[in-house]
């Protein structure tokens, strides 16, 4: 379990990093926390010619407030994000989901950008970005662009990111104060990728839902936005919500698969249940408050 | 034997929680593992492994790999063949289907080693491995037991895929009427998944050729002595030429019982290259190419009378041996140990091991554990069906101490087992009725709680009944400094033998625990012993240490008595001081005695040897039984199928407990493996023979959050051994799985029975029971897989044997397939009309028989043997010209097939 030989560069700026990526012609891979990449390198499933270490680029780290939202630097450690007061105040769903990512030890090294950019379909952070309506900021030597999270993922571990591009920020839009967090997952062991899970946010006003953003993880080749459920919820009064019916609508958008840990049927069956339960408990919490 | 009364010193060590002598170095990262071995000029090995499950090797192109930097050599089987090797099973019998170190013209499973690259660094070796081009003409692989029954033989030199077969299908004729006529019959089927043993440290081997013929080998193993003996025998080297050293080893679990293909290949490579070489198995290899374990398909039916008393049972057992098992195995021990703890009048079975194109099977903590899983889960199923409480059902059938001595239906004698007493101790310490009330209340709230029990016995400390299980040797000395040095034949892969043996010495010798240094883990230390295998070291090495320390104490007393002109009976040793009764002024430290014993021989008694040394090799009774009863409480979520373990209580009887912490650590470790087997671990193969759990992302080991805090009760019924210990190494892994399955089944009872237990019980499979539909897809998958099995028996040719015209008189070469390997012998027959006499001649000796019968071409005769146990062998042979075939009924060992031909 030794990686194939590679060159290692540790650029000090985004520009320098992008230049290396461009010059490598697709043969470079970015490393941040290495929690997924290192095993892939050791298994030789990933064999880059150049490893671009972005840990020395200060501008890629940290959390900041931007117009209408919160921007998270991709090289921000998961452990640091979990302790961040700005995120706790503005993005409670993000914090809830992040607490389920890996383990205490892996979060010390793992980064937000690594998790978002990897695109593991059963992981929490890609689905969180999709559900909250985040935008992925992408830069290359040639151009800079922003891609909505729900257009970023195209398949398992596949994104629209080109080989010469670098994720430079993830911007999560603000949700109304007091919005509710929707989160539930089932994983065989603590810290595992989920068999099935969902994450999202609900905003309420005057006893009715005004905004809903919900996404599944572990329910298809990418994080999957529960569009039908969102549509059913927005505008609905709390009294009028049939949690089970919304859950069925949510599952209707999914495309889960069989693996030796769980069947697609299990994922659909349990997915509907945890969706309905999450909805009921979240809304009950609200009505009790 | 009363441990208290045997105590010499006032300070008690046996039975106390001494801090482990091993912990300081292990917990501070200063252990010495095989990968810590660095030798000048040492090279590193990486294996080229097969990516396809079955086929003929068309070509191996090494040219590009040879050009890589750092590469010193690349070997294929053609190169290694320069050193003849005969691989051996755990029983030290020759492996039947010749297993070569590297693939010899064919590959038989994914992960089969094809070539070994030897380079200056491991990374360079792996770089070159990726450039070796192997072309294989692929064939359809056999993956499942059903495949094996119908497919072309995995090994072209064999007629079929049966690696081993024991038991007797015909015995069902006698059992079936008992099943048919019984008040109740319950049946179960268990499909046990394949386990990857996954020790924290994978396999590891470093070999250094020294001098002309000698070899020093560092190896992660369970006994350096056994490994050295294996290597010498397999390589045909003089026994003393190989020294094996194993300091710290990160878990063995049976996987490291014997060296296997890669380790032996490393030694051969060192021989060929004349340089030190090292191979460290990586995690990918450990999961996919280390020997696997379990994978069984077992059916058991049990007849009970109106009162729930067992009447008869029948078992059909199959295990998937893979391509290259560490010994052709039908797991006869499953059947030997299924019933001795219960009163069951009649038992019959058929048991087979099958070859497939998957990684070979090896040992794994409690290799026969299926007996407890299938029996105890069926027992609770019977309890539910008949409407008797599962604890009460056990009480009606268990063999209590008052029922002993007792002999099982298969002839296993038991005289001091205590599963019933453990169960009573367990019940006295839990509020069973209270739990049932709580359970009923919870049901009303829609919460599903369950409680499960299991009782079992386990043969431990095996010695002398099967090769290479033997006694243990302990050498003790008191140094001139007064410090005690112990040289042991033991080995620890986490067992803490240095700790427990030092406790025994401290107690028996009357010295401080801190003043004892224990050396083990080197075949140059102590004498032959199979080390950690079969829960034996505490029993046998413990007894050896116990006696050796007594002998050494006696020596000290003789010297002290002589120096003080006192009688030996007045001498006591305590806290490192030697006292004479009634003469406190004559007290001397052990150090003082030692200085005189070494340095002033003139002051010793007439004829006494100088120094203070003692050596003892202990040969215990052939088997020492351990018993236990466990109980576990769970909550099952009907919403998700998840199982949460609420409590787990163990009541075990391992006789004298040397160190409760070590005993509890052994039980906890076994239970963690049990939890893994029941809920998480799985090494599935796809239809093309690819292992599907190649990393720990997919192979789910239980983590700290999956294992509860266990509670322990110790019953302490001393055994017949010196010291009274009973083995406790494997128990948790044996009794754990049925305990947990039973708790889950109890929680699920209102929804339905687990008709067929398919492990692991994933959340999806739990929902199958709760919702009474195929949520997990298991049924659909298995129904598809079983289709192949329907086409079995492709060769039912019924041969009507003619009357033997040529006669049977004379010598015949015969092979008897026993559970410990094939036994070759020459059989001589003399027929006098219908009466046959003769003898069987084997390397161990010749045995005559008479009174046999000849009927047509059929010969029957009986022969009593003493080894490995007193049994009567009943031969039933069919002669056909110059060939003979038939069966030999071997008492508890079931039936073995016999084949042969005229000399």
Residue B790 pLDDT greater than 70, yes or no: no
| Chain-chain contact of B767 with A43 (C-beta, under 8 angstroms) | no
pLDDT tens, residue by residue, B744-756: 999 999 999 999 9
Residue B9 pLDDT greater than 50, yes or no: no
The answer to whether B150 touches B789, Cβ cutoff 8 Å, is yes
The mean pLDDT value of chain A amounts to: 95
| Chain-chain contact of B762 with A262 (C-beta, under 8 angstroms) | yes
Query: Where is the domain boundary, B584, B618, B652?
Result: B618
pLDDT band at B11 (very low <50, low <70, confident <90, very high): low
3-state secondary structure of B751: coil
| Chain-chain contact of A189 with B700 (C-beta, under 8 angstroms) | yes
Residue B585 resides in a domain? yes
Q: Whole-angstrom Cα distance, residue B139 to residue B85? A: 28
Residue B783 resides in a domain? no
pLDDT tens, residue by residue, B212-240: 789 999 999 999 999 999 999 999 998 78
Q: Is residue A4 less than 8 Å (CB to CB) from chain B? A: yes
| Chain-chain contact of A269 with B282 (C-beta, under 8 angstroms) | no
Residue B116 pLDDT greater than 60, yes or no: yes
Closest by Cα among A180, A74, A196 to A129: A74
The mean pLDDT value of chain B amounts to: 93
Residue B690 resides in a domain? no
Residues 6+ positions from B709 with CB-CB distance below 8 Å = none
pLDDT band at B868 (very low <50, low <70, confident <90, very high): low
Q: Which residue out of A45, A156, A185, A188 would a mutagenesis test of the B interface target, given it has the greatest number of B Cβ atoms within 10 Å?
A: A188
pLDDT of residue B171: 87
pLDDT of residue B833: 85
Question: What would the DSSP string read from start to end of B57-109?
Answer: EEEEE-HHHHTSTTEEEEEEHHHHTTS----B-TTSPBPSS---SS--SEE-S
- Average pLDDT on B42-70 reads 98
Residue B178 pLDDT greater than 50, yes or no: yes
Instruction: For A272, name the nearest residue in chain B, comparing CA atoms only.
Output: B639
ipTM of the complex: 0.95
- The distance in angstroms from the start CA to the end CA of chain A is 54
pLDDT tens, residue by residue, B292-301: 999 999 999 9
Alpha-carbon distance B777 to nearest alpha carbon in chain A (angstroms): 6
pLDDT of residue B707: 97
Q: Which residue out of A105, A258, A270 would a mutagenesis test of the B interface target, given it has the greatest number of B Cβ atoms within 10 Å?
A: A270
Kindly give the pairing relationship between strand B310-322 and strand B346-355: parallel
Residue A288 pLDDT greater than 50, yes or no: no
Query: Where is the domain boundary, B557, B588, B618?
Result: B618
Alpha-carbon distance A37 to nearest alpha carbon in chain B (angstroms): 13
Residue B778 resides in a domain? no
* Residue matched to tokens 């972005």: A54
Q: Whole-angstrom Cα distance, residue B767 to residue B112? A: 38
Residues of A in contact with B639 (CB under 8 A): 270, 273-274, 277
Q: Which residue out of A44, A189, A195 would a mutagenesis test of the B interface target, given it has the greatest number of B Cβ atoms within 10 Å?
A: A189
| Chain-chain contact of A260 with B706 (C-beta, under 8 angstroms) | no
Residues of A in contact with B700 (CB under 8 A): 188-189, 192, 261
CATH number of the domain bearing residue B856: 2.40.128.120
Residue B797 resides in a domain? no
Domains and CATH numbers, chain A: 7-56 (3.30.43.10), 58-173 (3.30.465.10), 180-288 (3.30.390.50)
What is the tally of structural domains in chain B?
2
Residues of B with a Cβ under 8 Å from any A Cβ are 122-123, 126-127, 130, 282-284, 639-642, 679-680, 682, 684, 692-693, 695, 697-698, 700, 702-703, 705-706, 762-764, 767, 771, 774-777
pLDDT band at B654 (very low <50, low <70, confident <90, very high): very high
Cα four-point dihedral sign B731, B732, B734, B740 = positive
Residue B890 pLDDT greater than 80, yes or no: no
Residues of A in contact with B774 (CB under 8 A): 265
| Chain-chain contact of A258 with B777 (C-beta, under 8 angstroms) | yes
pLDDT tens, residue by residue, A156-188: 999 999 999 999 999 999 999 999 999 999 999
| Chain-chain contact of B703 with A191 (C-beta, under 8 angstroms) | yes
Residue A53 pLDDT greater than 70, yes or no: yes
Is the previous residue joined to B868 through a cis bond, with omega within 30 degrees of 0? Answer: yes
Residue A108 pLDDT greater than 50, yes or no: yes
The answer to whether A130 touches A181, Cβ cutoff 8 Å, is no
Residue B832 pLDDT greater than 90, yes or no: no
- Helix (H), strand (E), coil (C) string for B538-595: HHHHHHHHHHHHHHHHHHHHHHHHHHHCCCHHHEEEECCEEEECCCHHHCEEHHHHHH
pLDDT of residue B1: 39
- Average pLDDT on A152-156 reads 96
| Chain-chain contact of B126 with A2 (C-beta, under 8 angstroms) | yes
Which DSSP state fits B401? G
Residue B792 resides in a domain? no
Residue B329 pLDDT greater than 70, yes or no: yes
Instruction: For B285, name the nearest residue in chain A, comparing CA atoms only.
Output: A1
Q: Whole-angstrom Cα distance, residue B482 to residue B594? A: 6
Q: Is residue A263 less than 8 Å (CB to CB) from chain B? A: yes
Full residue range of the structural domain in which residue B577 is found: 3-30+464-618
Q: Is residue A156 less than 8 Å (CB to CB) from chain B? A: no
Residues 6+ positions from B551 with CB-CB distance below 8 Å = B476, B614, B616
* Residue matched to tokens 């003898």: B839
- Average pLDDT on A21-46 reads 95
pLDDT over 70, % of chain A: 98
Is the previous residue joined to B468 through a cis bond, with omega within 30 degrees of 0? Answer: yes
pLDDT tens, residue by residue, A88-98: 999 999 999 99
pLDDT of residue A287: 46
3-state secondary structure of B167: strand
pLDDT tens, residue by residue, B464-516: 877 889 999 999 999 999 999 999 999 999 999 999 999 999 999 999 999 99
Residue B488 resides in a domain? yes
pLDDT of residue B805: 58
Residue B548 pLDDT greater than 70, yes or no: yes
Question: What would the DSSP string read from start to end of B493-555?
Answer: SSS-HHHHHHHHHHHHHT--GGGEEEE-SBTTSS-----SSSS-HHHHHHHHHHHHHHHHHHH
Residues 6+ positions from B349 with CB-CB distance below 8 Å = B167, B168, B171, B314, B315, B316, B317, B335, B894
Instruction: For A3, name the nearest residue in chain B, comparing CA atoms only.
Output: B123
Query: Where is the domain boundary, B585, B618, B651?
Result: B618
Q: Is residue A192 less than 8 Å (CB to CB) from chain B? A: yes
Instruction: For A196, name the nearest residue in chain B, comparing CA atoms only.
Output: B640
| Chain-chain contact of A189 with B775 (C-beta, under 8 angstroms) | no
Alpha-carbon distance B80 to nearest alpha carbon in chain A (angstroms): 24
- Average pLDDT on B27-35 reads 96
Nearest to B764 among A39, A190, A266 (CB): A266
pLDDT of residue B96: 78
pLDDT of residue A37: 95
pLDDT of residue B802: 46
Alpha-carbon distance A90 to nearest alpha carbon in chain B (angstroms): 31
Which of B166-180, B380-394, B757-771 bottoms out in mean pLDDT, i.e. has the lowest?
B166-180
Could you give phi then psi for residue B879, rounded to 5 degrees? -100, 140
pLDDT band at B311 (very low <50, low <70, confident <90, very high): very high
CATH number of the domain bearing residue B607: 3.30.365.10
């Amino acid at each position: 379990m030794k990686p194939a030989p590679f060159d290692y560069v540790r650029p000090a700026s985004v520009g320098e990093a992008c230049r290396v990526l461009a010059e490598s012609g697709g043969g470079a891979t970015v490393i941040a926390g290495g929690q997924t990449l290192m095993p892939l390198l050791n298994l030789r499933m990933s064999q880059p010619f150049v490893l671009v270490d972005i840990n020395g680029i200060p501008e890629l780290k940290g959390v900041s407030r931007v117009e209408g939202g919160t921007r998270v630097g991709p090289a921000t450690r998961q452990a640091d994000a979990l302790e961040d007061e700005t995120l706790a105040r503005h993005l409670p769903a993000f914090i809830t989901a992040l607490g389920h990512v890996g383990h205490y030890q892996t979060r010390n090294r793992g980064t937000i950008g690594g998790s978002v950019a990897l695109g593991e379909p059963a992981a929490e952070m890609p689905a969180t970005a999709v559900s909250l309506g985040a935008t992925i900021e992408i830069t290359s030597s040639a151009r800079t662009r922003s891609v909505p999270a729900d257009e970023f993922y195209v398949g398992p571990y596949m994104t629209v990111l080109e080989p010469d591009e670098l994720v430079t920020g993830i911007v999560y839009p603000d949700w109304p104060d007091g919005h509710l967090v929707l989160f539930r997952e089932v994983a065989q062991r603590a810290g595992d990728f989920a068999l099935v899970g969902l994450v999202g946010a609900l905003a309420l006003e005057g006893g009715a839902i005004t905004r809903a953003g919900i996404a599944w993880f572990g329910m298809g080749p990418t994080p999957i936005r529960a569009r039908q459920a969102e549509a059913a919820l927005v505008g609905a009064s709390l009294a009028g919500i049939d949690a089970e019916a919304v859950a069925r609508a949510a599952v209707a958008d999914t495309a889960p698969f069989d693996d030796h840990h769980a069947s697609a049927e299990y994922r659909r069956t349990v997915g509907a249940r945890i969706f309905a339960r999450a909805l009921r408990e979240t809304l009950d919490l609200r009505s009790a408050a | 034997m009363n441990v208290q009364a045997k105590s010499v010193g006032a300070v008690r060590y046996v039975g106390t929680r001494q801090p482990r002598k091993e912990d300081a170095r292990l917990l501070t990262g200063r252990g010495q593992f095989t990968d810590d071995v660095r030798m000048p000029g040492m090279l590193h090995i990486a294996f080229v492994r097969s990516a396809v499950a079955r086929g003929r090797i068309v070509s191996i192109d090494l040219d590009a790999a040879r050009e890589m930097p750092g590469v010193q050599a690349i070997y294929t089987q053609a190169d290694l063949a320069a050193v003849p090797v005969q691989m051996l099973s755990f029983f030290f019998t020759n492996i039947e289907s010749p297993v070569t170190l590297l693939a010899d013209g064919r590959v038989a499973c994914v992960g089969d080693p094809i070539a070994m690259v030897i380079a200056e660094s491991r990374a360079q070796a792996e770089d070159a491995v990726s450039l070796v081009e192997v072309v294989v003409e692929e064939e359809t692989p056999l993956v499942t037991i059903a495949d094996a029954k119908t497919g072309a033989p995995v090994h072209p030199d064999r007629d079929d895929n049966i690696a081993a077969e024991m038991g007797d299908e015909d015995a069902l004729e006698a059992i079936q009427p008992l099943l048919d006529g019984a008040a109740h019959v319950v049946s179960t089927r268990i499909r046990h998944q394949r386990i990857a043993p996954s020790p924290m440290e994978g396999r590891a081997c470093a070999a250094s050729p020294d001098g002309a013929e000698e070899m020093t080998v560092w190896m992660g193993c369970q006994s350096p002595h056994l490994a050295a003996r294996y290597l010498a025998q397999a390589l045909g080297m003089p026994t003393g030429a190989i020294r094996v050293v194993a300091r710290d080893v990160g878990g063995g679990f049976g996987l490291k019982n014997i060296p296997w293909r890669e380790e032996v290949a490393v030694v051969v490579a060192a021989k060929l290259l004349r340089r030190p070489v090292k191979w460290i198995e990586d995690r990918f290899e450990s999961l996919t190419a280390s020997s696997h374990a379990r994978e069984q398909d077992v059916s058991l039916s049990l007849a009970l009378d109106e009162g729930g008393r067992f009447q008869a049972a029948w078992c059909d057992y199959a295990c998937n041996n893979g391509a290259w098992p560490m010994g052709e195995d039908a797991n006869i021990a499953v059947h030997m140990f299924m019933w001795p703890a219960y009163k069951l009048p009649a038992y019959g079975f058929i048991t087979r091991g099958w070859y497939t194109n998957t990684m070979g099977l090896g040992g794994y903590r409690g290799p026969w554990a299926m007996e407890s899983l299938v029996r105890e889960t069926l027992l609770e199923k019977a309890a539910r069906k008949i409407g008797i409480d599962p604890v009460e059902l056990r009480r009606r059938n268990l063999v209590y101490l008052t029922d002993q001595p007792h002999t099982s239906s298969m002839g296993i004698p038991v005289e001091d087992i205590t599963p019933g007493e453990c169960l009573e101790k367990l019940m006295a310490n839990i509020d069973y009725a209270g739990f049932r009330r709580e359970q009923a209340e919870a049901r009303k709230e829609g919460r599903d709680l369950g409680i499960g029990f299991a009782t079992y016995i386990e043969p431990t400390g095996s010695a002398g009944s099967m090769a290479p299980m033997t006694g243990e040797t302990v050498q003790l000395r008191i140094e001139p400094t007064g410090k005690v040095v112990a040289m042991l034949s033991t080995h620890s892969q986490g067992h803490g033998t240095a700790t427990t043996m030092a406790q025994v010495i401290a107690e028996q010798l009357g010295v401080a625990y801190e003043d004892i240094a224990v050396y083990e883990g080197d075949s140059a230390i102590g004498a032959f012993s199979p080390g950690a295998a079969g829960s034996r070291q505490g029993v046998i090495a413990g007894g050896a240490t116990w006696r050796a320390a007594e002998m050494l104490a006696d020596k000290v007393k003789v010297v002290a008595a002589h120096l003080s002109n006192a009688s030996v009976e007045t001498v006591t040793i305590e806290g490192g001081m030697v006292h004479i009764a009634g003469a406190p002024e004559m007290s001397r430290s052990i150090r003082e005695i030692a200085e005189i014993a070494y340095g002033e021989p003139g002051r010793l008694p007439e004829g006494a040897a100088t120094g203070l040394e003692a050596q003892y090799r202990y040969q215990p009774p052939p088997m020492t039984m351990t018993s236990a009863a466990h109980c576990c409480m769970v909550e099952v979520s009907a919403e998700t199928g998840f199982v949460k373990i609420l409590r787990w209580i163990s009541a075990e009887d391992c006789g004298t407990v040397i160190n409760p912490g070590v005993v509890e650590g052994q039980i906890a470790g076994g239970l963690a493996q049990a939890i893994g087997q029941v809920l998480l671990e799985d090494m599935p193969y796809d239809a093309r023979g690819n292992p599907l759990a190649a990393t720990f992302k997919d192979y789910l080991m239980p983590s700290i959050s999956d294992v509860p805090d266990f509670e322990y009760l110790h019953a302490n019924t001393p055994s017949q051994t010196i010291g009274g210990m009973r083995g406790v190494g494997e128990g948790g892994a044996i009794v754990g799985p049925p305990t947990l399955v039973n708790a889950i089944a109890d929680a699920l009872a209102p929804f339905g029975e687990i008709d067929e237990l398919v492990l692991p019980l994933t959340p999806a499979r739990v929902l199958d029971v709760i919702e009474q539909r195929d949520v997990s897809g298991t049924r659909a998958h298995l129904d598809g897989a079983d289709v192949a099995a329907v086409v079995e028996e492709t060769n039912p040719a019924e041969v009507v044997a003619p009357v033997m015209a040529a006669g049977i008189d004379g010598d015949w070469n015969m092979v008897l397939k026993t559970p410990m390997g094939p036994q070759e012998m020459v059989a001589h027959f003399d027929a006098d009309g219908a009466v046959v006499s003769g003898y069987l001649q084997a390397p161990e000796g010749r045995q005559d028989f008479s009174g046999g019968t000849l009927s047509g071409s059929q010969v029957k005769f009986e022969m009593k043997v003493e080894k490995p146990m007193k049994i009567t062998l009943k031969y039933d042979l069919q002669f056909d010209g110059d060939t003979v075939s038939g069966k030999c009924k071997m008492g508890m060992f079931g039936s073995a097939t016999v084949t042969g031909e005229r000399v």
